[in-house]
């Protein structure tokens, strides 16, 4: 803590304790009294305590030292033989004060508090002594238990909502913490990770100074629950079958009093069972697990080592941000599929004119410039606008997709090329034929007529007793190509409405929810009208003005596509596992 600015720097727990101490004593004066630090052992997840030895005074060749230690209360209790009370120092052990401490500990922990114990002792040693755990000159037994500090770090408001969203989305949430099982379970209840009606956990002790260090209980693997609680000391004793049950059968698991090595081991066990892991962490010791997980997520307030090991840094340290990122990720994946479902179908209507001209000798259905005007003109803006499509209402109610699931599935190919693409081709062909029909030409006279007619220097074309000069043929041919061009673009106008959702009805999703799409479709309609009716431009593209009835023909086919897709989505929503219905999913 800076003396000038009173700014505390450190872990949240350290800062909380320091700020509380500052309300009781003069922290700076206290530090000056205990500034001669002779030895220190930092906290780690294995020892679960932090120790300091202060040199209090020197008398000849000896000095008086005071050892201070804080950490997990159940660990410190085993080091203590005495306890400080309001009536002085008393013996500490079974039936000698530990029951009261146990009761207080359980009450705090079941309330979601992180309980930290404190102990001390005073001893004499040579002035020049070098303390070391290896040498054994650091007293770790016979200490005086001072008391406990309960720290409350309440979950953020949206965490419970985020946990519920994960459960709905088929995402399993495992809490891996160094906190005591009581505290971990209390927090897990508060955020909805485990059953709120499960009752408080009671600790039963069987040995001297065995403060809340629990053994395995039958309810932890109760098949009736979709959650489980495992203490760190149990992890090494779990069998492969128990790991299968935990990871594959339980939706939520709380791992309490874990070490960094155990966190890494948990990640590895999940990966062995083909699970995709997103791991969060903030400490140096979390780095191996963050590195091992498919997605390592470091807290913005965490250590630099954790940030370097992670793939993502969570700036706001908020779990709900991860869930929101999952939703956005699913929406992006969905929108890519929707873009493909929109752009792929129009490939077939662009190919069919070439086929009927080359194989059946009918007049050209579309020119190269008209194809370019579609692919580089009318298709661009609607396709881009799909990036702004909001997620469907049930996007977080679907299970995660399989790892081996491809983006362009057989269902998407069938939708694009067999269903929608062919129906659009039919609409284009009908509009194309209508141009000839309205001129009095029998459609059956068109096959193989392009060998000698419908080109400069060609023969006079005859049909239904009518004769058409070369100039008339060229004009009708240009109108036919414009009709086919319009059929593709106007057909896509209807197709994009269906492509906006994969499962949800468009009426529920909303017609005007994507304003970028509305603007893009307006631009698309303006462009196609310019292509067809603007003198000079239509001639440059190889087309000519067409009758309004052609638009009606294509609109009828487009509406049919929309109705077909609404029916298809209805069956997908209500009969998702039906084998026939699954053939129509993409």
H helices present in 23-126, as ranges: 27-33, 73-79, 98-110
- Topology of domain 337-399+410-582, CATH: Calcium-transporting ATPase, transmembrane domain (1.20.1110)
Q: Are 547 and 487 in contact (CB under 8 A)?
A: no
Residues 6+ apart with CB under 8 A from 235: 255, 258, 262, 265, 266
Residue-level pLDDT at 211: 41
**CA gyration radius, the chain:** 37
Rounded distance between C-alpha atoms, residue 356 and residue 443, angstroms: 13
Long-range contacts, 53-61 (Cβ 8 Å, 24+): 53/131, 53/138, 56/122, 58/127, 61/126, 61/127
- Topology of domain 34-152, CATH: Calcium-transporting ATPase, cytoplasmic domain N (3.40.1110)
Residue-level pLDDT at 204: 39
Residue with tokens 């070098």: 130
- At 3-13, the pLDDT tens digits run 444 667 777 78
Q: CATH 1.20.1110.10 spans which residues of the chain?
A: 337-399+410-582
Residue-level pLDDT at 6: 60
Q: Give the pair of three-digit tokens for residue 564.
A: 């077909």
Residues 6+ apart with CB under 8 A from 90: 82, 83, 96, 97
Q: CATH 3.40.1110.10 spans which residues of the chain?
A: 34-152
- At 410-420, the pLDDT tens digits run 999 999 999 99
Its pTM stands at 0.78
Q: How many residues does the chain have?
A: 586
Residue-level pLDDT at 197: 59
Long-range contacts, 272-275 (Cβ 8 Å, 24+): 273/243, 273/244, 273/247, 273/248, 274/403, 275/172, 275/247
Residues 6+ apart with CB under 8 A from 506: 497, 498, 500, 562, 566
Q: Give the pair of three-digit tokens for residue 477.
A: 């041919």
Q: Are 54 and 123 in contact (CB under 8 A)?
A: no
Rounded distance between C-alpha atoms, residue 12 and residue 458, angstroms: 88
Residues 6+ apart with CB under 8 A from 373: 485, 527, 531, 541
Residue-level pLDDT at 221: 59
Rounded distance between C-alpha atoms, residue 341 and residue 424, angstroms: 13
Residues of the chain with pLDDT under 70: 1-7, 94-97, 196-222
Q: Is the C-alpha dihedral spanning 457, 458, 463, 467 positive or negative?
A: positive
Residue-level pLDDT at 94: 62
- Topology of domain 159-200+216-323, CATH: Rossmann fold (3.40.50)
Residue-level pLDDT at 222: 67
Q: CATH 3.40.50.1000 spans which residues of the chain?
A: 159-200+216-323
Task: Give the CA distances from residue 154 to residues 167, 273, 360, in Å, rounded to whole numbers and listed in that order.
Answer: 21, 33, 75
Q: Are 80 and 147 in contact (CB under 8 A)?
A: no
């Amino acid at each position: 803590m800076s003396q000038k600015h009173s700014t505390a720097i450190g872990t949240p727990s350290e800062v909380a304790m320091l700020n509380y101490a500052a309300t009781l004593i003069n922290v700076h004066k206290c530090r000056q009294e205990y500034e001669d630090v002779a030895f220190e052992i930092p906290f780690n997840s294995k020892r679960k305590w932090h120790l300091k030895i202060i040199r209090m005074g020197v008398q000849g060749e000896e000095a008086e030292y005071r050892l201070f230690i804080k950490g997990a209360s159940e660990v410190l209790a085993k080091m203590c033989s005495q306890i400080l009370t309001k009536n002085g120092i008393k013996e500490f052990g079974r039936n000698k004060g530990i029951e009261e401490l146990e009761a207080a500990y359980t009450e705090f922990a079941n309330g979601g508090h992180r309980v930290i114990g404190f102990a001390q002792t005073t001893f004499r040693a040579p002035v020049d002594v070098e303390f070391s755990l290896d040498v054994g000159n650091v007293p770790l037994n016979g200490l005086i238990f001072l008391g406990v500090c309960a720290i409350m770090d309440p979950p953020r408001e949206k965490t419970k909502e985020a946990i519920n969203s994960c459960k709905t989305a088929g995402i399993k949430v495992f809490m891996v913490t160094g906190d005591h099982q009581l505290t971990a379970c209390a927090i897990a209840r508060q955020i909805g990770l485990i059953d709120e009606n499960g009752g408080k956990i009671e600790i039963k002790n069987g040995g001297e100074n065995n403060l809340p260090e629990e053994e395995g209980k039958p309810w932890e693997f109760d098949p009736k629950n979709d959650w489980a609680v495992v203490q760190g000391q149990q992890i090494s004793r779990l069998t492969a079958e128990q790991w299968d049950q935990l990871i594959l059968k339980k939706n939520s698991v709380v791992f309490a009093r874990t070490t960094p090595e155990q966190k890494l081991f948990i990640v590895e066990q999940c990966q062995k069972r083909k699970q995709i892991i997103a791991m969060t962490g903030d400490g140096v010791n979390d780095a191996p697990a963050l590195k091992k997980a498919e997605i390592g997520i470091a807290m913005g307030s965490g250590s630099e080592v954790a940030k370097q090991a992670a793939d993502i840094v969570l700036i706001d340290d908020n779990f709900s941000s991860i869930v929101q990122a999952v939703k956005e990720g699913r929406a992006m994946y969905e929108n890519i599929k929707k873009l493909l479902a929109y752009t792929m179908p129009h490939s077939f209507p662009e190919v069919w004119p070439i086929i009927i001209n080359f194989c059946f000798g009918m007049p050209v259905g579309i020119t190269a410039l008209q194809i370019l005007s579609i692919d580089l003109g009318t298709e661009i803006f609607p396709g881009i606008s799909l990036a702004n499509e909001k997620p469907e209402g049930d996007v977080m109610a679907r299970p995660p997709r399989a790892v081996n699931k491809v983006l362009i599935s057989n269902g998407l190919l069938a939708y694009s090329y067999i269903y929608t693409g062919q129906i659009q081709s039919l609409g284009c062909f009908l509009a194309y034929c209508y141009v000839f029909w309205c001129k009095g030409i029998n459609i059956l006279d068109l096959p193989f007529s392009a060998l000698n007619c419908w080109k400069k220097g060609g023969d006079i074309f005859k049909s239904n007793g009518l004769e058409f000069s070369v100039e008339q043929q060229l004009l009708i041919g240009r109108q036919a190509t414009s009709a086919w061009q319009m059929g593709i673009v106007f057909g896509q106008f209807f197709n994009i409405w269906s492509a906006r959702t994969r499962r949800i009805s468009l009426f529920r999703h909303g017609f005007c929810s994507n304003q970028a799409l509305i603007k893009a479709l307006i631009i698309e309609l303006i462009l196609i009208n310019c292509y067809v009716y603007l003198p000079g431009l239509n001639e440059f593209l190889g087309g000519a003005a067409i009758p309004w009835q052609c638009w009606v023909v294509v609109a009828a086919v487009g509406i049919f596509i929309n109705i077909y897709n609404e029916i298809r989505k209805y069956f997908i929503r209500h009969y998702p596992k039906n084998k026939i219905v699954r053939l129509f999913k993409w």
